[in-house]
Structure 1
Amino acid sequence: MARIYISLGTNISPEQHLKAGLLDLQQYFGPLQLSRVFESESVGFKGTNFLNMVAVAETNLAIGEVVATFKRIEQANGRIRGEKKFSPRSLDIDLLLYDDTVCDEPVELPRGEILFNAFVLWPLAEVAPNLNHPIAQKSYHALWQAYDKQCQNLWPIAFEFPAELQPNIKLSTL
């Protein structure tokens, strides 16, 4: 059984799509551990703010099957393939970590944006503060503490999780 760390982001009907995405992830992967939800300014383009978070799950699926499942969930939530990299998203789900696997195929693991995007690193540091990045060999808590917090604006928000979702929400002041 592999432990997977999943990034979710949305800025098109964000509450609706984030809730739907979480329910779909729970359906495919079972119980989820969740970070808080963060609001962040768009990165790479001018657009409405995003809601972002990280979920943790366990799976017997191979990496490629996990990614294919994420694509099905995104498509079910209105994601259109072939969009520009930096553009509004109904739902963006990315595999950040698959245990401590380091690879380039079928996807890059650990996902490179962990070290560069506050909207990924801060929620990941909440759910896995003591876990070490498999390449940087530093804990996510230490990576977040060292991160230049002036380069991207984000903040935790109050979020009403769906009643059907039974999250283990780990709130932190990281």
Structure 2
Amino acid sequence: MSTAWLSLGSNLDPAANLAGAARALREAFGDVVFSPVYRTPAVGFDGPDFLNAAAIIRTSFSPVELNDWLHALEQAFGRDRSGPRFSNRPLDIDIVFFDDLVLEGPGNLKLPRPELQHAFVLKPLADIAPRHTVPGDGRTLAELWAAHPGASSPPPVEALDLAAAP
């Protein structure tokens, strides 16, 4: 079994879509650790705010199999990948870490995920895995968050508990 750290986000009906994704992750992977949910502005385009969270799962999938499974889940929630990369989305789930792998490809799969530099990915992960060491970097998520420009004013927490979402 491997451990995967995921980043989840949505800015189209985000509360319902994140709750549905949380339910699907629990059904597929059993016990899932979820971070608090944060509200963050869209990055790279003008659009509604995102709700973002992180999750830790245990899986027998390979990174490619998990990535494919997550893409199918996104599609089931109405994600359309034919448009611009930075756009509104009902559901976006990325693998940020998979065990201690450093990997590039196939396709958009890159581990660790470059979006870790953004507060909307880093803060939720630092909440649930502060002592996790970033492969290829050597710093912990807590150290990265403490050094992040957004650490002095973290994004607001939303009243959405993914662990309890029906």
Which TM-score tier does this pair reach, normalised by the shorter chain? over 0.9
> TM-score, normalised to structure 2's length?
0.93
- The Cα of 1:53 is off from its aligned counterpart by 0.3
**Structure 1 residues without counterparts, runs of 5 or longer:** 166-174
Which has more helix, going by share of residues?
A: 2
- The Cα of 1:86 is off from its aligned counterpart by 1.0
**Structure 2 residues without counterparts, runs of 5 or longer:** none
> TM-score, normalised to structure 1's length?
0.89
Change (3 A) 1:33 1:160: closer
SS in 2 for 1:135: coil
RMSD: 1.8
- The Cα of 1:80 is off from its aligned counterpart by 0.9
Change (3 A) 1:42 1:65: same
Indicate whether 1:8 and 2:14 are aligned.
no
- The Cα of 1:156 is off from its aligned counterpart by 1.3
Give the distance between the partners of 1:160 and 1:82, measured in 2 at CA. Answer: 31
SS in 1 for 2:122: helix
Change (3 A) 1:162 1:128: closer
Matched with 2:131 is 130
- The Cα of 1:39 is off from its aligned counterpart by 0.4
For residues 38-77 of structure 1, what are the structure 2 equivalents within 5 Å? 38-77=38-77
For residues 1-174 of structure 1, what are the structure 2 equivalents within 5 Å? 1-106=1-106, 107-114=109-116, 116-149=117-150, 154-161=155-162, 163=164
- Cα pair 1:41 1:153 within 8 Å, conserved: no
* Alignment coverage as a number of residue pairs: 164
